[in-house]
A and B are shown apart, each in its own frame.
Chain A
Amino acid sequence: MIEPFFLVAALLLIFMVCGIIRIVFGPTIPDRVVGLDTINTLVVAAMIILGAAYNEVIYIDVAIVYALLSFIGTLYIAKYLEGGM
């Protein structure tokens, strides 16, 4: 019997593989940044799904912290590409 939550997490991992392919083969830097941001969002979703799969409430806090911090990393790269900072 396969747990449905783990099945969803495995599906999200397949999407993460697509994002890493974009990072590896992306011809320009903005392609790679968009791939990284996609992986960020998918990791947050996978953390919430796995928190439901492990049946632990405290694991959701990690996803909240991660959703806040991954935004800052993308923001720094975007500010550098803009030429400001």
Chain B
Amino acid sequence: MKVLVSVKRVVDYNVKVRVNADNSGVDLSNAKMSMNPFCEIAVEEAIRLKEKGIANEVVVVSVGPKAAQDTLRTALALGADRGILVETEEQVESLGVAKVLQKVVQEEQPGLVILGKQAIDSDNNQTGQMLAALTGMGQGTFASEVLVDGESVAVTREIDGGLQTVSLKLPAIVTTDLRLNEPRYASLPNIMKAKKKPLETKTPESLGVDVKPRVKVLKVEAPEARKAGVQVNSVAELVGKLKAEAGVI
């Protein structure tokens, strides 16, 4: 079975972003970028499926600027076999990415597609579900366990009250939650080897997809800052303040 994994290049999760003074967006000019943490988990799961002999090829795909090549190389260094970059300088939103991925799925015919549950920049949590809709496949979102068994896959999902397990007919779409696995690090020899692995470049136009945004961002502002708090020195003082000043107990 072929496994397709979609990865996104985002600002590193440890960076505290700043909003541009003109409210046009956030300032990413010198920010460290890396692979979205949920995508790392998706890549790891695909590689584990390969190590178990369930997957015979892992293809990684990214939609984004030329620099997203680095993100694909990272995935190749972790163990993916080849990469596809759908290059565009536009900010592509979830629906656009899902449409691009639908075309890639059509061409590649994977048995399973794995995505992260959300990207930590837009926090949308949409692409996997939209891809499932467009391809007419079943979806196992927020997965904390994935067990492929013949023609179906059992996905344990993190839902509000606990866990739910569903069985999906393959091919299917899975989106990863944090607890699915612990992603590995790339070793230096593998990083060198990844440079030789095939990386194909396409464009949304060559795939016949219109990625013009539907959701328009009119402005981006910094969140309201909280009023500075006070340090208390004892439990008694804390209880006193909560009762008298804050009135919450």
Co-complex (A, B): no
